[in-house]
Homo-oligomer: A and B are copies of this chain.
Amino acid sequence: MLEKIDLLKKIDQGDYKEKIKEQTLRLGELQRKLKDAKIPVSIVFEGMGASGKGTQINHLIQALDPRGFDVYANDKSTKEERMRPFLWRFWTKLPAQGRIALFDRSWYRQVTMERFDGKIKECDMAGAYKDIQSFERQLTDDGMVIIKLFLYISQKEQKSRLKKLDASKDTSWRVSSDDWRRNKEYDKFLSICEEMLEKTDTDFAPWTIIEAMDKDYAAVKIMTHVADRLEEAYHLCLSRGERKEKEVPIRTKEYQNGVLSGVDLTKTLTKEEYKREIDVLQERLEQLHSQIYRLKIPAIIGFEGWDAAGKGGAIRRLTSHLDPRGYKVYPTSAPNDMERVHHYLWRFWNNVPRSGHIAIFDRTWYGRVLVERIEGFCSENQWKQAYQEINEMEDHMANAGAVVLKFWIHIDKDEQERRFRARSEDPLKQWKITDEDWRNREKWDEYEEAVNEMLVRTSTTYAPWIVVEGNCKYYARVKILKTVVEALEAKISEAKKNT
């Protein structure tokens, strides 16, 4: 999830000042409204070391009336705290109705830093996540708004910030040997954070990733996001009182995590490079296919992407050398009558491959958070819940030993237009292009927003999304086959180790 995020977002100085002023006014007003509505708010700041949590908390509270909030720094636990159950120190600090609590590190400390330090046993992790989920669910059920922010910077940026802090007498005390260790083993700490985000990103208490390389950008994004969430909660509370259809204000889209915006679409391969590579990969896949059959490893491979991105062509290249008795391709279109009277995941459950077999889905269960979301075929609640439901399904399959991969084939709008036109002009391909394709194209921005959110919320360690640079079909196909080959190889060597 994290590695997909475009970290280079910036804001210019003039824009920054204006936005801060705007959000400061908005936050002040919302704080008063939430006080009157008696809504308690908890704001959690988590993230990499030296990502600027303290600075950002300081920024945020400038906008708030000091009589209405409390800041808690959650360093190592005190003796009093260690004499109580783990959640005690947080329960006792919870904000009263109408108040705001800001937590600099929080109940996530144990599943991130303490886990990294080996202070929590791996087999206790499931229990720790369960405790956190119960805690947050109990509070939000009681009307609390929980806003969780994860401040994210790169290893290199972290190193240079730590160096700078270390160089000055005034700040060197803030850098501990633990900080340096987490920087050196950045990837290990990152993967711990990834799992934490995956396991605790719920519809009642979702995470928001803050790109914190540029402090000004982070400040604006945090203030805007907090204001959006408070406004949403206020309107929800109002509409509940009046028993009206709820009318939720639209979230500020400007600061959404960019995944697609960071994709380099200039990547290409020549025809010769392509031919050479694809042949090798296809032969290798053929061998691996018979190995996973013998080792009884199932594989589930999903394809999503823009219309005309090249899903069909990629699937053909992927399957051309495979034994047809060992794989099946399932095209997904609008549900039929039988499917319509079942849960939206039911039809995909029906097509779960046997062990040793590969199931390839041309469009997938992600329709729930793409077309169904955008066309209003399901309610807002339903598609918001779907992220967790889908993660749970994929987790279950991965736990049962399956390789689960999902490809988003990405092209830009111009490339799509070129391909649409080429199709309409080619009599052999005209059937592939319909009025609906042109209509969908008009909703490009809405889809882009939905795709970005989907990629962030459902790319997991056990079932990753692979964003494929698709402007060059050769490049795309090679990348897809290579990814499948590597994933199968990794699972096979894992399976061999376990026997």
Contacts and interface: CB of A to CB of B under 8 A. Distances in A.
A389 B131 contact: no
B126 A84 contact: no
Contacts of A131: 392, 396
A142 interface: yes
Interface in A384-439: 385, 389, 392, 396-397, 399-400, 402
Interface string A319-351: 000000000000000000010011111100110
A352 B400 contact: no
A86 interface: yes
Contacts of A144: 343
Contact of A138 (B338, B389, B400): B389
B127 A399 contact: yes
B392 A138 contact: yes
Given A84-B352, A85-B400, A341 B98 contact: yes
B126 A130 contact: yes
B85 A342 contact: no
B396 A84 contact: no
Contact of A86 (B38, B97, B139, B400): B400
Nearest to A125: B126
Contacts of A80: 354
A123 interface: yes
Interface stretch (A16-24, A66-74, A88-96, A221-229): A88-96
A296 interface: yes
B352 A396 contact: no
Given A134-B392, A354-B80, A346 B91 contact: yes
Nearest to A141: B385
A97 to B, nearest CB: 4
Contacts of A38: 341
Contacts of A280: none
A123 B355 CA distance: 24
Copies in the complex: 2
A88 B342 contact: no
Interface string A120-155: 000100110011001000110110100000000000
Contacts of A392: 131, 134, 138
A238 interface: no
Contacts of A142: 343-344
B92 A350 contact: yes
A349 B135 CA distance: 12
Nearest to A86: B400
A38 B341 CA distance: 8
Interface in A428-476: none
A498 to B, nearest CB: 14
A397 B85 contact: yes
Interface in A50-96: 80, 83-88, 91-92, 94, 96
A349 B88 contact: yes
Interface in A1-48: 38, 40
Nearest to A82: B355
Contact of A342 (B84, B96, B345, B349): B96
Contacts of A298: 83-84
A350 B90 CA distance: 10
A298 B85 CA distance: 10
Nearest to A81: B354
A355 B80 CA distance: 9
Contact of A126 (B126, B141, B296, B389): B126
A94 B397 contact: no
B343 A94 contact: yes
Contacts of A396: 85-87, 131, 134
Contacts of A296: 83
Contact of A343 (B85, B88, B127, B139): B139
Contacts of A345: 91, 138
24 contacts: A38-B341, A40-B341, A40-B342, A83-B355, A84-B354, A84-B355, A85-B352, A85-B397, A85-B400, A87-B396, A88-B349, A91-B346, A92-B346, A96-B338, A96-B342, A97-B341, A123-B123, A126-B126, A126-B127, A134-B389, A138-B389, A141-B389, A142-B343, A142-B344
Interface of A: 38, 40, 80, 83-88, 91-92, 94, 96-98, 123, 126-127, 130-131, 134, 138-139, 141-142, 144, 243, 296, 298, 338, 341-346, 349-350, 352-356, 385, 389, 392, 396-397, 399-400, 402
The 10 closest A-B pairs by CB, nearest first: A85-B400, A91-B349, A83-B354, A126-B126, A97-B341, A96-B341, A134-B392, A83-B355, A142-B343, A123-B123
